[in-house]
Amino acid sequence: MKPHNPTLLFVIVAIAGTFLSAGCGTTPKIRFVTTESLTPGIFLEEERIVLPAGVEARKVSDKGLELTKESEGFRGMPYNDAAHYCTIGYGHLIHLEPCDATIPENFFDGITRPEGTELLRDDMHVAERGVTGLVDRELTGGQYGALCDFVFNVGVGNFRKSTLRKRVNAGEYNLVPFEFRRWVYAGGKKLKGLAIRREKEIELFFDEEEGVPRLVPPPGLDLTPIDIRTGEAEPQ
């Protein structure tokens, strides 16, 4: 009979000890990924637009929703965004604190892309009502989708106070690209992802027009960058 291998016995004992300790009430620590994703602005404010009786906000088109999907990205498992808020899917906020064992059961094991799309559709209602209630002009599908994505990102309150909204309501569409491009800061830092998102919104806004206006900024036009977390002062 061959002598026992002491190394093998040590490994077996160590594995057995792990299972025994797990069975003695020790709860394994769950680790969640932390990303650089920004919390959608609609989740960071209490402002909501209440539409008049009989008025309903139209749904963003599939093309518009795809813009938001591309910008937010999809993650099927719960994760912590850059603010350490528990999130899932296409930027859907689970709660305003880090992920932990209290995550609802329907999210804990992850979601599929179709389920993520359904959550995004529901979340987008806030932006849709915001654009419908704050814009006075008839909008094309592209204009509506671009503004809804913008509101989803920066929040209803920031859109309400924005010069961008003022330009749209005045029909000054030639100045709209300049206004979109101001909103590229978050937390005091200029972010490449926001700059890319703004360009995609501009392209969608003019999707049904003759193309994006290629103009030199008029003299005196305010091009001061804006932080999506603080917004700008009320337009005069």
Alpha-carbon Rg for the chain, nearest whole angstrom, is: 24
Boundaries of every domain in the chain = 28-205
| Topology annotation, domain 28-205 | Lysozyme (1.10.530)
Q: Where in the sequence numbering do the catalytic residues fall?
A: 72
pLDDT averaged per 10 residues, the chain (length 236): 42 38 51 94 93 93 97 97 97 97 93 98 98 96 98 97 97 96 96 98 92 88 96 74
Determine the pLDDT at residue 19: 38
Rounded CA separation 195/199 (Å): 6
pTM assigned to the model: 0.86
